[in-house]
Structure 1
Amino acid sequence: MAASMGVLAKGAPLTIVVPYAAGGPLDKSARILAEGVQAQLGPVQVDNRPGAGGNQGAAAVAKAAPGDNLLVMGAVATHAVNPWLSKDFPYDPIRDFKPIALVARTPNVLVMSTAQADALSIRSTSDLVKYLKANPDTLVFGSGGSGSIGHIAGEMFKSLTNTRMAHQPFAGAGPALKALQDGGVGLVFDNLASSLPLIRAGKLRALGVTSLGPDDALPGVPSINSEVPGFNVSTWFGLFAPASLPDAEARRYAGAFSAAMRSPASVQQFKAMGLEPEELTLDGFGSFVRSEYNKYEFLIKAAKIRVQ
């Protein structure tokens, strides 16, 4: 379908840059939305540009020329966490972008391999804390990388429970989950959307979700906060444009993507991933991003997290 109006008629087709490898929740969500907005915005492409923990793809959009017609499916990592982990960061997550729409918020989930959890008689977060206090430094927690949300969640967990365990970073959530199933690490704080199939298949045991309350996708699994008060770390992702995008175009994009997220077909596809589309757009999304940016500044400095 050809573009017939607005900025799309003047330059390249609109492209959503996903700053991570294909196949993950951000990539799948971008493809759902690219299909859902074509009637309003014309052809929309998805371009995976992984690298540097998401920074590479986000930086490309931050520095894009107006005619490039790029958006980025940014996330808590690219817009709230990563900037505090490097002195020479390639973009400003607040000034260099115009927030368009928050797509989804999802908790992480604390998972162990079912076999190891059974062997150690661990069925809940409280059981894990009890085990760690009796056996300090015997379990290793894995994550998708140093400074990732999974890493931050693990450090917060250690701090709030006064327990000890080493951290093993991997090059993404996939390798971390494989190491968990193979016995290379003892536990992982993973994105719910990526762990959900393994939990449903019985390969992983979910001990708790990292949001303040339980999640409908995991009935019967409590929040970690209910057993470790004060624990609250969630993943989110959404669409950002370069700061140079005119306000009128930003409003047009926000309306189109918001409508696409609410369509029955999209809602069903998001639900299958354990996600529920969000409603924040433009200024509301921008206020949320600034709040998250400040929150993770405090958490990262308090935990003294450094990229390894």
Structure 2
Amino acid sequence: MKNTLRSWTLGCAAAALAAGAVAADTAWPSKPLRLVVAFPAGAPGDIISRVIQPQLQQALGKPVIVDNKPGAGGNIGMQEVLRSTDRHTVLVGPDTMLTINPHLYKKLSFKPLEDFIPVTQLASFSQELVCNPSVGVKNLYELLASARKAPMSYASGGPGVPGHMAMEMLLARTGVPIQHVPYRGPSPAMQDVLGGSVPCGFLASPVVGPMIKEGTLVPIAVSGSHRLASQPSVPTIAESGAPGYVAEFAEMMAMPRGTPAAIVHRLQAEIAKAMSSPAVQERLATLDLEPLANSPEDAAKRIQQGNQRWGEVARRLKLQLD
């Protein structure tokens, strides 16, 4: 795995160095750009794609189409993008598709870490542990105490997605058994937590934030290293009795390996411009999405680090999904 990661990072660096030598394809884009979001509508990557869609269309001079292809922790969307060879199809979704999926799915027909090259990490976000008000808990201590007394379950946006991994990492620390109930995305999972079918959920903070403000979901804790600007009274998990706990994630864009570096860098540059727009920044801030829009090289470095970190977690917890 270390050799694979090293080769992958070197490949990304080589692509960057070659960018100046590769003549920009002045005909690109020559047709509509298709953003294949590997999660359902309402997921963070879907939200970001639709927020920057107008700016990208104007900058590229071609329509930008957002196409949701959810399922299997992003694997279905990845397969969809790899089937395309038109250089106008882009993968969008959490970086867990490259950092976690290679460790959980051993029988894939493709290699996520080797078959994709990152364009950029769009924005970072945390997961938020929430419960239906009927559960009657207000903090992590009460939730774990309740789970010790009677069987409890939690919903996530699917197997191997950020919420699943963040919760399993927490449960491994506490030794408390809480049953995982996976869904096809964070929005349908949230709906069942709202309805009481599942008592709690570990879901993307941009998805559950509006429900917390309405009072229909009770916030327990956030997974990141700091509290959310929109919810300053909600503690981190580290503050709630698990010192050192941090689980942060990022939405990303990626293209198939072999895409000319000039195209990758052109797209990243236009995305960075779009995300620097005050209107876009304001919209993302309301959803606790922290803009990154980093370079392909920086994105590759961060993803490599995430792959190593989450690989250790998957091995320690003996998590495998096929």
Give TM-score, length-normalised by structure 1.
Answer: 0.89
Q: Which of these residues, 147, 154, 159, is aligned with residue 141 of structure 1?
A: 154
Q: Which secondary structure state, in structure 1, belongs to the residue aligned with residue 114 of structure 2? A: coil
Task: Please state if 1:77 is matched with 2:77.
Answer: no
Of 230, 240, 247, the match for 1:217: 230
Give SS of 1:99's match. Answer: strand
Task: Assess if the C-alpha contact under 8 Å between 2:39 and 2:74 holds in 1.
Answer: yes
Distance 1:7 1:93 in 2: 28
Contact 2:70 2:184 in 1 (8 A): no
Amino acid at match of 2:138: R
**Distance of aligned partners of 1:56 and 1:88 in 2 relative to their CA distance in 1, 3 Å threshold:** same
For the residues of structure 1 that align with 2:145 and 2:199, how far apart are their CA atoms? 15
Could you say which residue in structure 1 is the equivalent of 2:280?
266
Q: Tell me the number of residue pairs that the alignment of Structure 1 and Structure 2 aligns.
A: 296
Instruction: Give the secondary-structure state (helix, strand or coil) at the position aligned to 2:47.
Output: helix
| Separation (CA, whole Å) in 2 of partners of 1:299 and 1:140 | 21
1:242 paired residue among 249, 256, 270: 256
Measure, in 2, the Cα distance between the counterparts of 1:99 and 1:6: 21
Residue 70 to residue 272, structure 1, CA distance change in 2 (3 Å)? same
Q: How far off its partner does 1:63 sit?
A: 4.1
| Structure 2 CA distance for partners of 1:99 and 1:205, relative to 1, 3 Å | same
Q: Deviation per CA, 1:266-298: give whole Å up to 9, x if none.
A: 112212322121142210011011111121111
The Cα shift of 1:56 comes to 1.5
Identity within the alignment, %: 27
Give 1:173's aligned residue. Answer: 186
The 3 A distance-change label for structure 1 pair 283 and 36 is same
Distance 1:230 1:90, change over 3 A: farther
Amino acid at match of 1:14: L
Map 1:1-40 onto structure 2 (within 5 A). Answer: 6-9=26-29, 11-40=30-59
Give yes or no for the alignment of 1:293 onto 2:304.
Answer: no
CA contact (8 A) 2:38 2:71 kept: yes
Q: CA RMSD in A?
A: 2.0
User: Closer, same or farther in 2 for the Cα pair 1:284/1:272, shift >3 Å?
Assistant: same
Letter in 1 for 2:162: I
Q: Mark the CA change 1:113 to 1:173 in structure 2 (over 3 Å): closer, same or farther.
A: same
Gaps of 5+ in 1: none
Offset at 1:80? Answer: 1.6
Give the direction of change, closer, same or farther, for the CA distance of 1:176–1:46 in structure 2 (3 Å limit).
closer
5 Å-filtered alignment, 1:108-257, equals: 108-117=127-136, 122-133=137-148, 135=149, 137-226=150-239, 227-257=241-271
Code of the residue aligned with 2:141 in structure 1: it is S
**Contact (CA 8 Å) 1:8, 1:14: kept in 2 or not?**
no
Structure 2: 5+ residue stretches without partners? 1-24
